[in-house]
A = this chain, B = another copy of it.
Amino acid sequence: MLPTMMDTQLSVADLIEYAGSNYSAEEIVSRCVEGGIHRYTYQDCLRRTKKLANALTKLGAKQGQCIATLAWNTYRHIELYYAVTGIGAITHTINPRLFPEQITYIVNHAEDQIVFVDLSFVPILEKISDDLTSVAHFVVMTDRAHMPESQLNLLCYEELIEPESDSYDWPSHREDAPAALCYTSGTTGNPKGVLYTHRSTLLHAYAASQVLQASALNIILPVVPMFHVCAWGIPYMATMVGCKLVLPGAGMDGQSLYELIDNEQADLIVGVPTVWLNLLTYLRAAGEKLTSVKRTLVGGAAAPLSMIREFQEEHDVFLLHGWGMTEMSPLGTVNNMTSAMTKMPLEERYRVQMKQGKPVFGVELKIVDDNNHELPKDGKSFGRLMARGPWIASAYYKSEDKSSWVDGWFDTGDVATLSPDGMMQIVDRSKDVIKSGGEWISSIDLENTALGHDAVSEACVIGVPHPKWNERPLLLVTTHKPTTKESILTFLADKVAKWWLPDDVIFVDELPHNATGKLYKLDLRQQYQDHLQSSEQ
């Protein structure tokens, strides 16, 4: 049959063309790394993006090459998103919080040709530059007046684009051409690259705008960094709907965020729980309220009940839980308000809000057992969470490792329940769930329950080998007043299933955490691997 619909390919450059042409007066406001606030319009942004596209071409950037950024959320980073991908190259955003050796590995693995860097991160480049094998140019994202002293040969962003024409014709390409690259910060092994395409980026942007009901009336402040899964796709979504975008630069502390939110009247703020803990702490101390904000989208880790409550009751802000992964662009689920939730008492609604939400249209989810058999969506069975959809990776970049894919589904590494109405709740990470005699026990559930004991400050549950049950839970706690093992086990006894009760409780002075503040259980599992083999039967 002959084609009857236009073969229009989805393309990232269309986004900035659209916003620059149709929402020409809407603003992008940035807190500058150099200090002060910068504001301009989408029309200005489009013009400078085209100048940058011409400058990139002059620097020798070619289609399919990677061009890296080490940068905060600012307008120059937005220009790079569109110019680099627009000319047919790949926007490779690097997380500056990685170890220098990891950044070196990533730059070399991606074969980055140019690295664009914010002033804050020039020292990182100075440290690793000798080990970089592919980079031809370093460009500092600032003007001449702020260029740093350096032993590196640094180019200046503003000098580079200033003489260029603001006219540029974006080359055409198929929509499965690569657009952006982001490496996961796995705790084991080298970081793995996820290469997004124009198609995956655009479909994800449509889906994101849909689940957020975003429009040109919104004023969105993404605190989630543009080096972290493309700031969850917010920059692409913002140009698609033409809304005002507010970018916090390096100002991630509570006071800086509050001032920016309040001055710019942001109504949707987006970030991880840690950032909001800082913000809420500041607001409490300063006696300030969020008056413009209506919703906060929270992902990356589960927001605690207390945060959901405080946002709602102190600031009239609805906390919208989301869940995703770097391999998923990242959007998997969003916990939007439903008609059922509108009728619930607040405390009951909060319990629903704690879940990760329903899949965004485009993402299919299922849970499976150890034999990859699908488990029922009954809200109780839990299994390994598998995902499928047009913005989910089918492989890592330049990698033969296919261990995370089974029959065309991506294994998220999470253990979850799915309810009959599609609601997903993360139970545990696959590597942390305890497999006791063929049944699974959630370490997170046990930890949260143990935290209810009035002497427990922090709780950590790990599975350790057991001669009869294969694996059994061990509870490690820090305490702030005297208590006993018996007291804690008695406390737990009527709150969890009998066979979930930890086989032992161990009192420790401190629990180990990783760089993002999460419990780091790998060493503990090794340290206690013989604990139940020897002490109990």
Contacts and interface: CB of A to CB of B under 8 A. Distances in A.
Given A4-B397, A5-B176, A338 B217 contact: yes
A422 interface: yes
A3 interface: yes
A26 B194 contact: no
Interface string A4-30: 111110100011001001111110000
Contacts of A200: 5
Copies in the complex: 2
Contacts of A342: 217
B209 A4 contact: no
A8 B408 CA distance: 10
A395 interface: yes
Nearest to A392: B6
Contacts of A197: 4-5
Nearest to A237: B210
Interface in A15-50: 15, 18, 21-26
Interface string A153-171: 0000000000000000000
Interface string A200-216: 10010011011001111
Contact of A207 (B24, B206, B217, B395): B206
A393 interface: yes
Contacts of A14: 361
Given A3-B394, A6-B393, A217-B339, 14 more contacts: A4-B393, A4-B396, A4-B397, A5-B390, A22-B358, A22-B421, A22-B422, A206-B207, A213-B215, A217-B336, A217-B337, A217-B342, A240-B361, A242-B358
Chain B CB within 10 Å, residue with most, of A337, A388, A410, A422: A422
A528 B1 CA distance: 45
Chain A: interface secondary structure?
Answer: loop
Contacts of A361: 14-15, 18, 206, 240-241
Given A8-B389, A389-B6, A422 B23 contact: yes
Nearest to A387: B6
A410 B6 CA distance: 9
Contacts of A25: 340, 421
Given A24-B420, A206-B207, A361-B240, A394 B1 contact: no
A452 interface: no
A323 to B, nearest CB: 14
Interface in A303-348: 336-340, 342
A216 B360 CA distance: 12
Contacts of A24: 420-422
A465 interface: no
A2 interface: yes
A64 interface: yes
A233 interface: no
Given A22-B359, A22-B422, A214 B213 contact: yes
A391 interface: yes
A23 B421 contact: yes
A98 B391 CA distance: 43
5 contacts: A22-B359, A217-B339, A240-B361, A241-B361, A244-B339
Nearest to A6: B394
A194 B395 contact: no
A23 B391 CA distance: 22
A401 to B, nearest CB: 13
B178 A1 contact: yes
Interface in A349-404: 358-359, 361-362, 377, 388-397
Contact of A64 (B1, B5, B8, B15): B1
A394 B7 contact: yes
Contacts of A206: 203, 206-207, 210, 361
B422 A215 contact: no
Given A337-B217, A338-B217, A5 B210 contact: no
A26 B209 contact: no
A10 B206 CA distance: 13
Given A1-B64, A408-B6, A339 B395 contact: no
A196 interface: yes
A195 interface: yes
Most chain B CB neighbours (cut-off 10 Å) among A6, A64, A358, A388: A6
A175 to B, nearest CB: 9
A139 B200 CA distance: 41
Contacts of A472: none
Contacts of A76: none
Given A206-B206, A240-B361, A421-B24, A5 B199 contact: yes
Contacts of A3: 176, 394-395
